[in-house]
A and B are shown apart, each in its own frame.
Chain A
Amino acid sequence: MQAPSILQTFWFCALASVFLVFFLLDGFDMGIGMALPFFSKEESERKKLIDIAWPFWDGNELWAIIGGSCLFAAFPYAFVALIGGLAPVVALLLVFLMFRTVSFEAWYKDPSRRRFWEYAQAAGSFLLAFGFGLLSGNLIAGLPMTETGAFAGSPLSAFQPYAILTGLLAAAAALMHGAAYVRKKSAGAVRDKATRLARGTFPAVAVLSAAAFAWTAVIVPEAMTRFPFLLGVAGAVAFGVSFRVSLGRPGDRAPFRWSAAAMVCVWIAGASALFPYLIRPAAGGPPAAGGPAAVGPAAGGPGLSLAAASSPASTLSFLAVFATAALAVVAFYTVFVYRTFKGKTASDEAAH
């Protein structure tokens, strides 16, 4: 396997960061969405949840679009293998994303069907978070690929046990993260319910991430010798404990900060297990039915390395300079906008 160039490594890190930012920001929207119909019997308290999430979903969701389009430009082979190979899964995810996007509007503009839109929001959010974890997990567990960098599996290849585990982890983590965000932005009964939700979700997140770390060490044994992987695991444990402790303390901003820090660490561990691949070689087994058997790999194939997946250097270098400048500006004004809305969300703030 050809070793990745500095530019390819840069883009690996940049894309990992963009998708991490997506999950940190949109993750809490997904968590809030998942909790929405079950959070409270009081409609006013559920409305509060919507008012907390609504001003930000568009600014949060766009990181998925930045990530998707940068993946297209920088690593087109991976983009096509993943999106094209798993097309039906991606198509379903896009449909969930579409309905989640309009369901905030719908909640206000279609009051006779509020419960329906709440369940739509919850289902869409859960499946989005799960799908995000599922796709990420498949990169580490590996997918069948041909020698020429084409996908050689079937859409069902995505539903392998490791990826289902990471999918569940992502969904549970989003729920916990969303609860922490609600606590940060609310007061009184809503704040207390959010705290209980965060406390209830924590054991599930802890167990699922422990299982994911252990399983990763089994399928990628060399990860145990990589410093960022070990650092990520250690950090996730430390920040996870801090999160749990902070729930019982008076400060309302700390839990969100700790859950974000723990998610960063889990992501670092995952990315360092994946490097220098974008799709790791799949373990054994003939290519699934429907794949081009004649050219297909005998046992899962070579995976897709950074070097094999990338665009020419001229594109990577141009886009690297451009993206660094552009994302610095984006980060600047995103922080500005978040600061504009800092503090607890007032009632009836949203313009509906």
Chain B
Amino acid sequence: MDTIMLARIQFGISLGFHYIFPQTTLGLALIILIAEWRYVATGEEAWKRISTLLSRFLGLVFAFGVATGLVLPFSFGMNWGKFSVFSAPVFGTQLAIEAMVAFTLEAVFLSIVMFGRERVSKRAYLASVFFVFLGSHLSAFFIISANSWLQTPAGYAIEAGRLVLADWVAATFNPSTGIRFLHAVTAAWISGFFFVLAISSCLIAQNRRRADAKRLFSLAAALSLAFGLLQPLLGHQQIMEVLRHQPVKDAAYEGIFESVNGAPLIGFGLPDAANRQIRFALSIPKGLSFLESGNPDSFVKGLNDFPVETWPPVNVIFTTFHIMVPLAGVIIAVALSALYFTRKKERKPLEERPIFLRLVMLSAAAPYLANELGWIGAEMGRQPWTISGLLMTKDAGTAAQGKGTVAFSLSLFALVYAVLAVLFWKFTTAAVKSVPQTASEGGDHASA
């Protein structure tokens, strides 16, 4: 294994582990904003208790997000020297802007959300919650914009071999930014909603603040269903964008090797890129052609018509894509049944369905897995390029970086992430257990 491969593994692990936390933050911040808004609008104390309860989890998730996110910009400097020096005028600028306008907003107002409720007015507190929401979403926007620039670079010029920022607006709103932002943020929200569903299921099952937990459960279930249904439409738009700008990546996603009129939509199969085929494929005839153009007999260009050296790792991205898509079905099914069991007419209350509650808790893994797989597909699908058409991954490393150095930081980080994962699990369960039991608390009294 060469240095570049080790560096790729390190970056993949760092990013994949980090991304557990921000995707939670995005959805959690939205639910807290809704709860706080309902509190200010209706004056109901239950919404205030819900907002306070969730902001503790937000603080925990945010702390782990910062801890793991700190590594990322420095990783560029450590292992991706040539990439950093080349891309700094555009890519570095986006990271700097993200830090200055987005991350700061979120971090600074989070102190008011977590510690300042008694020190500011109701409306100032709601505004602080809104700024945390805004900051985290601006952060998502600039990071996804920077990543989209790697996929579909724009707004740059090359002068004397160096990259130059020519048009910041064009670079920021490059051809793939918009749809990728919508698709990724919706996916992240669903993770946040399922995080809340899991927490509230746990609270209901353990009889902690049960009335509040049920209210929260219904809200998270309704949001999960709404955005779970929206997501396939956004996913389709995203795939159409990939088809326009990264046709090789699209052919690999869909597993189409032979160019053909009326290409099938493969729902399942085992990819075998070496022999240029998908084994045991279950497919809908002409389905892909129909999805791409509305015409079942339209032409689809297959991988065989692209040079092999421009192929991404087909087996990996076909597989991740074909696990991600069915997970959308799991998400919709869980959200639908969660809503069904919280109907007003339902005679058996949720707390008498322990198995269902447990299933909801377990299903929280689905959106997280879908997010991670989606990003693995997006990033590995860009290979062999780090910046599409401009810089190949094999040329992006740090010149003098020895294999030992990368192996050292890789094993160090992997160890630390394992410890952090255990700690996060412990702290989250401890936070759930610190919520008072309904009976002993005498009517859900707020305790900050």
Question: Considering only CB atoms, which chain A residue lies closest to B90 in the complex?
Answer: A315
A326 within 8 A of B: yes
Interface residues on B, range: 35 or more
B267 within 8 A of A: no
Residues of A within 8 A of B111 (CB): 55-56, 58-59, 337, 341
Of the candidate stretches B68-76, B228-236, B246-254, B357-365, the one touching chain A is: B68-76
Residues of B within 8 A of A341 (CB): 111, 115-116, 119
B237 within 8 A of A: no
Max chain A C-beta neighbours (<10 A), residue from B76, B131, B408: B76
Of the candidate stretches A100-108, A174-182, A269-277, A297-305, the one touching chain B is: A100-108
Contact A83–B78 (Cβ < 8 Å): yes
Of B67, B88, B95, B409, the contact of A311 (CB 8 Å cutoff): B88
Max chain B C-beta neighbours (<10 A), residue from A66, A311, A341: A311
Q: Mark B403-423, 1 if CB is under 8 A from A, else 0.
A: 001101100110010001001
Of A73, A102, A329, A351, the contact of B448 (CB 8 Å cutoff): A351
Contact B119–A340 (Cβ < 8 Å): yes
Contact B71–A66 (Cβ < 8 Å): no
Contact A350–B426 (Cβ < 8 Å): no
Contact B88–A90 (Cβ < 8 Å): no
Q: With contacts defined as CB atoms under 8 Å apart, how many contacts are there between chain A and chain B in the complex?
A: 232
Residues of B within 8 A of A65 (CB): 70, 73, 99, 103
Contact A101–B66 (Cβ < 8 Å): yes
Taking the closest CB of chain B, its distance from the CB of A293, in whole angstroms, is 11
Of A77, A87, A102, A334, the contact of B78 (CB 8 Å cutoff): A87
Contact A106–B423 (Cβ < 8 Å): yes
B109 within 8 A of A: yes
Of A88, A109, A349, the contact of B408 (CB 8 Å cutoff): A88
Bound-complex Cα distance A151 to B96 (A):
23
B430 within 8 A of A: yes
Contact A104–B63 (Cβ < 8 Å): yes
A72 within 8 A of B: yes
Contact A72–B427 (Cβ < 8 Å): no
Bound-complex Cα distance A76 to B62 (A):
28
A126 within 8 A of B: no
Bound-complex Cα distance A291 to B71 (A):
25
Question: Considering only CB atoms, which chain B residue lies closest to A149 in the complex?
Answer: B85
Contact B100–A322 (Cβ < 8 Å): yes
Interface size on A, residues (CB 8 A): 69
Residues of A within 8 A of B420 (CB): 98, 102
Residues of A within 8 A of B262 (CB): none
Q: Mark A88-131, 1 if CB is under 8 A from B, else 0.
A: 10111011011101101110011000000000000000000000
Bound-complex Cα distance A314 to B78 (A):
25
B165 within 8 A of A: yes
Residues of B within 8 A of A337 (CB): 108-109, 111-112, 116
Contact B77–A82 (Cβ < 8 Å): yes
Of the candidate stretches B181-189, B212-220, B283-291, B393-401, the one touching chain A is: B393-401
> Contacts A87-B409, A330-B104, A349-B115: A290 and B99 contacting too (C-beta < 8 A)?
no
Residues of A within 8 A of B240 (CB): none
Taking the closest CB of chain A, its distance from the CB of B119, in whole angstroms, is 5
Contact B56–A79 (Cβ < 8 Å): no
Bound-complex Cα distance A91 to B79 (A):
11
Contact A72–B116 (Cβ < 8 Å): no
Contact A315–B89 (Cβ < 8 Å): yes
Q: Mark B83-97, 1 if CB is under 8 A from A, else 0.
A: 011001110110111
A214 within 8 A of B: no
> Contacts A72-B88, A91-B408, A351-B114: A109 and B431 contacting too (C-beta < 8 A)?
yes
Residues of A within 8 A of B320 (CB): none
Taking the closest CB of chain B, its distance from the CB of A152, in whole angstroms, is 8
Residues of A within 8 A of B114 (CB): 55, 350-351
Residues of A within 8 A of B9 (CB): none
Max chain A C-beta neighbours (<10 A), residue from B78, B112, B426: B78
Residues of A within 8 A of B117 (CB): 351
Residues of B within 8 A of A330 (CB): 100, 104-105, 108
Q: Mark B141-182, 1 if CB is under 8 A from A, else 0.
A: 000000000000000000100101110100000000000000
Of A69, A102, A315, the contact of B99 (CB 8 Å cutoff): A69
B52 within 8 A of A: yes
B110 within 8 A of A: yes
Residues of B within 8 A of A352 (CB): 56
Residues of B within 8 A of A323 (CB): 96, 100
Question: Considering only CB atoms, which chain B residue lies closest to A342 in the complex?
Answer: B119
Contact B116–A340 (Cβ < 8 Å): yes
A150 within 8 A of B: yes
A84 within 8 A of B: yes
A319 within 8 A of B: yes
Contact B103–A102 (Cβ < 8 Å): no
Contact B108–A80 (Cβ < 8 Å): no
Residues of B within 8 A of A54 (CB): 115
> Contacts A109-B427, A315-B93: A80 and B109 contacting too (C-beta < 8 A)?
no
B60 within 8 A of A: yes
Within 8 A of B (CB), among A148-207: 150-152, 155
Contact B100–A72 (Cβ < 8 Å): no
Residues of A within 8 A of B71 (CB): 94, 98
Beyond contacts A65-B99, A87-B78: 13 other A-B pairs, Cβ-Cβ < 8 A, are: A56-B111, A59-B110, A69-B96, A84-B398, A90-B77, A98-B67, A98-B71, A311-B89, A318-B93, A337-B116, A340-B120, A341-B119, A352-B56
What 5 pairs across the A-B complex have the smallest Cβ distances? A83-B77, A73-B92, A76-B88, A101-B67, A91-B409
Binding site for B on A (CB under 8 A): 54-56, 58-59, 61-62, 64-66, 68-70, 72-74, 76-77, 79-80, 82-85, 87-88, 90-92, 94-95, 97-99, 101-102, 104-106, 109-110, 150-152, 155, 290-292, 311-312, 314-315, 318-319, 322-323, 326-327, 329-330, 333-334, 337, 340-341, 349-352
Q: List 17 A-B contacts (CB under 8 A).
A: A59-B104, A72-B77, A79-B88, A87-B79, A91-B412, A95-B413, A101-B63, A105-B63, A106-B423, A109-B431, A110-B423, A151-B400, A312-B165, A329-B101, A333-B131, A351-B52, A351-B114
